């Protein structure tokens, strides 16, 4: 039995914030997310005070509509909001380059604006649980593109840390190849692949192929160290 003057310590659920410039889209999206979790749904107009407004809402998950052609300022906003809560970026299309920019800005998810409501609800639930949401086909293309375009340069930077075999395996893994596929391609055992991948992940400070692909891309940028 509660004593006089006692207060409940139950914390109210965090907000599910839907932010963007289009009020009709915000309203439809928020309505479609009913049942995605025990969140307080809140609409917020995009503007110069967006980050301050969202910060006051105690956001659990933020869905940010960046429109069809987001610019550098839009991704600066993504970075600011991602520091406040787990952010899913909604853009005009499931574009590889936009997805990369969103992830690099700190987003936890990326969806096209016309993504089915059921999938957006699933994205919200998984992102709220600490997962990353990017369409599988998009992610595979992203990793392949990053690895193909930047892995040779990145591996050059890491050459002092990786053996020749580790370089081969890192490149294949970043492109999405399975351990079995790598073993077959290089005529080695799956156990050997696993051993080398463990070493590569440790040297790059990552734990998944997706992170390895992104790390290889980042490593090719001037001034970025691989460790």
Q: How confident is the model at residue 150 (pLDDT cuts 50, 70, 90)?
A: low
Q: Please classify residue 114 by burial: count the beta carbons closer than 10 Å to its beta carbon, then call 0-12 exposed, 13-18 middle and 19+ buried.
A: exposed
Q: How confident is the model at residue 146 (pLDDT cuts 50, 70, 90)?
A: low
Between 6 and 81, residue with greater pLDDT: 81
| 11-15, 95-99, 115-119 — most confident range | 115-119
For each of the domains in the chain, give its residue range(s) and CATH number, in order of start. Answer: 15-134 (3.40.50.2300), 138-219 (3.40.50.2300)
**Rounded to 5 degrees, what angle do the CA atoms 214, 36, 107 make?**
20
In terms of Cα–Cα distance, which of 214, 179, 215, 184 is closest to 197?
A: 179
Q: Residue 60's Cα: distance from chain center in Å?
A: 15
Cα gap 79→98, rounded to integer Å: 14
pTM over 0.75: no
Given a cut of 50, whether residue 8 has pLDDT beyond it is: no
Complete edge-to-edge strand list for the sheet that includes strand 109-112: 40-45, 15-20, 59-67, 86-91, 109-112
Cα gap 214→103, rounded to integer Å: 9
CB atoms within 10 A of CB 42: 18
Q: How confident is the model at residue 63 (pLDDT cuts 50, 70, 90)?
A: very high
Q: What is the CA radius of gyration of the chain?
A: 21
pLDDT value for 54: 93
Task: Tokens for 227, please give them.
Answer: 């460790």
Given a cut of 80, whether residue 152 has pLDDT beyond it is: no
Given a cut of 80, whether residue 12 has pLDDT beyond it is: no
CB atoms within 10 A of CB 129: 9
Q: How confident is the model at residue 144 (pLDDT cuts 50, 70, 90)?
A: low
Phi-psi region for residue 37, left (φ > 0), alpha (ψ -120 to 50) or beta? left
pLDDT value for 222: 34
Q: How confident is the model at residue 52 (pLDDT cuts 50, 70, 90)?
A: very high
How confident is the model over 48-65, as a mean pLDDT? 92
pLDDT value for 14: 80
Cα gap 99→94, rounded to integer Å: 7
Q: Please classify residue 35 by burial: count the beta carbons closer than 10 Å to its beta carbon, then call 0-12 exposed, 13-18 middle and 19+ buried.
A: exposed
């Amino acid at each position: 039995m509660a004593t006089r003057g006692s207060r409940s310590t139950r914390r109210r659920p965090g907000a599910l914030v839907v932010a963007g410039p289009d009020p009709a889209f915000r309203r439809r999206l928020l309505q479609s997310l009913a049942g995605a979790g025990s969140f307080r749904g809140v609409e917020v107009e995009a503007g110069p005070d967006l980050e301050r407004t969202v910060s006051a809402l105690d956001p659990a998950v933020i869905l940010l509509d960046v429109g069809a052609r987001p610019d550098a300022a839009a991704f600066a906003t993504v970075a600011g909001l991602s520091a406040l809560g787990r952010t899913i970026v909604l853009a005009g299309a499931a574009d590889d380059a936009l997805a990369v920019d969103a992830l690099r800005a700190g987003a936890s998810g990326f969806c096209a604006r016309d993504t089915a409501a059921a999938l957006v609800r699933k994205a919200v639930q998984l992102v709220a649980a600490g997962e990353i949401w990017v369409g599988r086909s998009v992610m595979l293309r992203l990793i392949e593109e990053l690895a193909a375009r930047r892995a040779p340069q990145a591996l050059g930077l890491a050459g002092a840390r990786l053996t020749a075999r580790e370089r081969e395996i890192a490149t294949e893994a970043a492109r999405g190849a399975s351990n079995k596929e790598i073993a077959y391609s290089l005529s080695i055992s799956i156990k050997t692949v696993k051993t080398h991948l463990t070493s590569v992940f440790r040297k790059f400070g990552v734990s998944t192929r997706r992170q390895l692909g992104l790390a290889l891309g980042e490593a090719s940028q001037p001034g970025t160290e691989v460790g």
